[in-house]
Amino acid sequence: MSGWLETIKMSFRTESTPNLSGIGMTSQRTRERLLGRLMDQGITSMEVLDVIRSTPRHIFLDEALSHRAYEDVALPIGFNQTISQPYIVARMTEIAFLSGPLTNVLEIGTGCGYQTSILARLAKRVTTVERIKPLLDKARKNLRLLGLRNIDFRHGDGSLGFKRSGPFDAIITTAAPQQIPHELLFQLNDGGRLIIPVGGDVQQLQLITRRGEDFQCDKLEDVKFVPLLVGQVQN
C-alpha cells in the first residue's frame, strides 16, 4: 500500500468524530474499517470521504439492522428497497463532483435518504424524487434530524426527472432503468452529468455528459441496483 494512502487512513483514525457518536466503540472501529475499504476500492475525493465519515448511516436503518450500518453492503429498508452500499454512494458522488462544485443536483430514488444526505452536504441545492410515499416521508424525517435544509423532497415518478427545478448540474439515479429515460438528458445543464445504472440482471453504471445537444456516454463498472419502476405508490 502506498505511503500517502496509509497517512490518509491514519488521519481518519486519529481525528475526533463528534457527530458520529451514538452506537458505541465497536462500531467506531467498523466505521474506520469502512473508510479504509472505500479508499482501497479507489475512492480518492477527500471531500466525499469526509462526508461519508461524518454521516451517521445507522440512523437510516431499522434498529434491528443498525449494527450493520458501517459494513460496505446494501441493506433492506422495507418496501422491497435497499439503502445503497457506501462504496457506490461514494463512487457516484465522486463522479458527480469531478468537475468541481455543484449548485443544483437531482437525485432519483430517495429511498431512506442516505445518498441524499451525502449530496446535500456537498451541493448547494438537492431535489430528490421518490415513488414510494412512506419512504419519502421517512427520508424527510431522517434528513431533518441531520439538520439538512437544502433538500426539496418530491413524491413522483423520477423517470420523468423534475423539469420545474432544472436544469441540473448533475442527476444521480439510484434505481436502474432498462434504457436511459430521454427526459433526464434534456434536464442537464450544458456540461452537466447524468450518473445512472442501466440494465436488468446485468447492469452498468454509466456517465452521460451533456455537450450542447450531444451526449457523451462513458461506461464505468458493473453494478446492482433495484429497478427504476414507472408510476408512484401512495401507501
Interface residues toward ligand SAH, by CB under 6 A: 81-84, 89, 108-112, 114-115, 129-132, 135, 157-159, 174-175, 226, 228-230
As given in the structure block, the three cell numbers for residue 101 are 462544485
CA-CA distances (angstroms) from residue 220 to 14, 24, 76, 80, 204?
33, 37, 25, 26, 7
Please provide residue 94's backbone torsions phi and psi, each rounded to the nearest 5 degrees. -60, -45
Nearer Cβ to ligand SAH (18/231): 231
**Between residues 146 and 190, which has the closer beta carbon with respect to ligand SAH?**
146
Of the pair 22, 78, the CB lying nearest ligand SAH is at 78
What is the bridge-based pairing of β-strands 75-78 and 151-155? Answer: unpaired
Cβ distance to ligand SAH smaller for residue 49 or 108? 108
Contact 133, 110 (CB under 8 A): no
Closest CB 10 distance from ligand SAH, rounded Å: 29
Mark whether 66 is an active-site residue. Answer: no
Backbone angles phi, psi at 17, to 5 degrees: -130, 75
Count Cβ atoms below 10 Å from residue 111 Cβ, excluding itself.
Answer: 26
The minimum distance between CB 111 and ligand SAH, in angstroms, equals: 2
- 45 or 110: whose CB is closer to ligand SAH? 110
Residue 193: CB minimum distance to ligand SAH, A = 17
Query: Is the CB of residue 129 less than 8 Å from the CB of residue 110?
Result: yes
Q: What distance in Å separates the CA atoms of residue 97 and residue 48, rounded to the nearest whole number?
A: 9
- The active-site residue out of 84, 99, 117, 165 is 84
Sign of the CA dihedral with 117 first, then 121, 122, and 124 last: positive
**Residues acting as catalytic residues:** 84
